[in-house]
Amino acid sequence: MIQDTKKNAIVTNRDAPAQFVRASDVNKHRERFFELLSPASGRQTVVLGLLGAAIFFALWETAHYMTAEEGRRFLPSVEQVLGELIYLFAEKDFIYDVLRSCARIFGSFFAASAVAIPLGILMGCFGKFKALVNPTVSGWRYLPAASFIPLLLVWFGPSETAKMGLLFLGVLFFLIAMVLDNTEAVQRELTEAALTMGASRKRIVLEVVVPAAMPAIIDSMRTMIAVGWTYLVIAEIVGASDGIGAVMMRAGRFLNVDTIMAGIFMIGVLGVLTDIGFRIVQRLLFPWNIKKKV
Amino acid sequence: MNDALQQPAVAARDITKQYVNGTFTALQDVSVDIHEGEVVAFIGPSGCGKTTMLRLISGLELPTRGKLATFGQPINGPGPDRGMIFQAYTSFPWLTAKKNIEYGMKIMGVPKAERAKTADEFLKLVHLDKFADSYPNSLSGGMKQRVAIARTLAQNPRIILMDEPFGALDAQVRWEMQEMMIEVIEREKKTVVVVTHDIEEAIYLADRIIFFTRNPGRIKEDIPLEFKKGQRFLRKEEMFDQDGYAQLERKLFAMMREEIVAADAA
């Protein structure tokens, strides 16, 4: 008991002199790491994010040095991979491959969007059109995109069309389903309010449903372009002589693990940049969607 | 006298509405006339068809059987002559308060300059003139609802239909909105039909209360608010002082309880 009071600072309350208040009795905010309903602050997000990355690279580095000398070339260190990446850009015109890959991804993705977005919106607006199209379109989602490679090769040969075709098919059917969901999620009363105002169907689709669904659709696009990036290497196996995937496949033949890992790293960086790009576009296009209180 | 002027704002004859291929009857043989300039409240227990009746008048749904007309014209679908205000917030989040109010007029082909002028006028009427350029996401629930009310009024409809318009608002805001609505009704001289489950709100807003009963939905009683002697009170507390107010509220509560007891027994 005596020890206990010694351990804790004693704070006397002047209004109630008979009462001793121990520091441990005072309400204080104890911040726990695993706290429910407690999102990280802006600063914590940055610090913890960097910490997570640092832990990952530290583990990688440790694994490299724990590997036996003769096996280390199969698990190169962080600095070897980054060095290889710089070498690829400086000496091997890697920027050309990166740009080719980007052009394939964005070209095929925007082609898929140009088909999926109108189709999804029309299905979401008109129940009978959905009944006509959706069953046929849904089935395609279950087919692995890679299974189209032989078919695309027979039809188009090892051409640009075949690669773009694979990337296109890989995202198209998922994007249709997601846009359909986004459109159907538009609050019913918005459409009903426009109907009672006497708006035509064309007006309601273009001036009510489309703006209402657009932020969610851009979100779906952001998710699906990530899937596009995951198909990139598969697409560039199909007889490609350029692109990040082709560089990686060539390196694989010579067991150049550092080049392969540099390619993986590059795709990761491009993916993150694409994601950030979509978020910026979303903020610029839909300033009204940002919640703020008066 | 022009014939159209003598036509009731809403004339319903033997309206029946069934759902799910006739297995559920929401309304059965409902007949009612609502006259121009009247403010009518539909009340009743959940599932009594009061919202269905409002939606039939709006034209968002069509009756299974029966005749429904507004000012002598059969109702075949929605139109800007019958403006509707929903419980859910329907101000468009991508348009500012002012552009929202202009939108209804844009649909009707009102010229741009006139739209802006009328929108300013109605922003003032619903006390939102300071928030003309605010987006709904930065407005409170009550303010969003006022945008929707102003948007409807700006189309100059002959009838205003309100489906639990203040149901999502907290008590104080609800009360402010009710008083604002009286101000608007007095100024605009509109025919109003309001669906509510709030007995006090019904008595305060309406000139006439239509009480619906359930299973199947039909009218139980058509109650004129005689105690008001044709007055509308800009301040809600003035209503409580009137002779007959307490008796009417008591009667409506008793009717509602009877409905709830019947529903529990069934």
The whole-angstrom distance between A287's CA and the closest CA on chain B is 8
The CATH code of the domain that includes B178 is: 3.40.50.300
Are A294 and B139 a contacting pair at CB < 8 A? yes
Query: What pLDDT score does A19 carry?
Result: 53
Q: Is A206 on the interface with B (CB under 8 A)?
A: no
Instruction: Report the alpha-carbon distance of residue B56 to residue B50 in Å, rounded.
Output: 10
Most B-contacting residue of A186, A192, A196 (CB-CB within 10 A), to test interface = A196
B249 and B175 part of one domain: yes
With tokens 């273009």, the residue in question is A206
The number of domains in chain B is 2
B260 and B168 part of one domain: yes
> Per-residue confidence of chain B (266 residues) as pLDDT tens digits?
455 457 999 999 999 999 988 788 999 999 999 999 999 999 999 989 999 999 999 999 999 999 999 999 999 999 999 999 999 999 999 999 999 999 999 999 999 999 999 999 999 999 999 999 999 999 999 999 999 999 999 999 999 999 999 998 999 999 999 999 999 999 988 999 999 999 999 999 999 999 999 988 999 999 999 999 888 999 999 999 899 999 999 999 999 999 989 888 87
In what helix (H) or strand (E) does residue B66 lie, and over which residues does it extend? strand B65-70
Are B138 and A292 a contacting pair at CB < 8 A? yes
Are B107 and A212 a contacting pair at CB < 8 A? no
Mean pLDDT of the A168-186 span: 96
Instruction: Report the alpha-carbon distance of residue B48 to residue B215 in Å, rounded.
Output: 7
B172 and B250 part of one domain: yes
B140 and B170 part of one domain: no
Residues A260-265: contacts with CB within 8 Å, 24+ apart? A261/A76, A261/A81, A261/A84, A262/A81, A262/A82, A262/A84, A262/A85, A262/A88, A263/A233, A265/A81, A265/A82, A265/A85
B171 and B258 part of one domain: yes
Instruction: Report the alpha-carbon distance of residue B80 to residue A81 in Å, rounded.
Output: 67
Instruction: Report the alpha-carbon distance of residue B103 to residue B151 in Å, rounded.
Output: 7
In this structure, are strands B24-34 and B10-19 parallel, antiparallel, or unpaired?
Answer: antiparallel
B61 and B110 part of one domain: no
Confidence of residue A20 (pLDDT cuts 50, 70, 90): low
B151 and B177 part of one domain: no
Most A-contacting residue of B94, B140, B145 (CB-CB within 10 A), to test interface = B94
Instruction: Report the alpha-carbon distance of residue B194 to residue B207 in Å, rounded.
Output: 11
Of A193, A203, A288, the CB nearest to B90: A193
Are A193 and B140 a contacting pair at CB < 8 A? no
Instruction: Report the alpha-carbon distance of residue B174 to residue A284 in Å, rounded.
Output: 35
- What's chain A's Rg over C-alpha atoms? 28
Domain end point (choices B105, B123, B156): B156
Residues of B with CB under 8 A from a CB of A: 58-60, 77-80, 82-84, 86, 88, 90, 92-95, 103-104, 107-108, 131, 134-140, 148, 151-152, 155, 161
B170 and B227 part of one domain: yes
Chain B residue with the nearest C-alpha to that of A195 = B78
Most A-contacting residue of B70, B107, B130 (CB-CB within 10 A), to test interface = B107
Are B94 and A292 a contacting pair at CB < 8 A? no
B97 and B224 part of one domain: no
Residues 6+ apart with CB under 8 A from A271: A226, A229
From chain A, the residues in CB contact with B86 under 8 A are: 189, 192-193
Domain end point (choices B137, B156, B175): B156
* Rounded (5°) CA angle A259-A263-A266: 135
The residue range of the domain holding B41 is 3-81+162-265
Contact status, residue A216 vs residue A209, Cβ threshold 8 Å? no
pLDDT tens-place string over residues A147-163: 888 999 899 988 889 99
Domain end point (choices B136, B156, B176): B156
Contact status, residue A287 vs residue A227, Cβ threshold 8 Å? no
Are B151 and A197 a contacting pair at CB < 8 A? yes
B179 and B151 part of one domain: no
B122 and B246 part of one domain: no
From chain A, the residues in CB contact with B107 under 8 A are: 194, 197-199, 203
pLDDT tens-place string over residues A258-286: 999 999 999 999 999 999 999 999 999 99
Instruction: Report the alpha-carbon distance of residue B195 to residue B57 in Å, rounded.
Output: 12
Query: What pLDDT score does A145 carry?
Result: 83
B56 and B124 part of one domain: no
Are A294 and B134 a contacting pair at CB < 8 A? yes
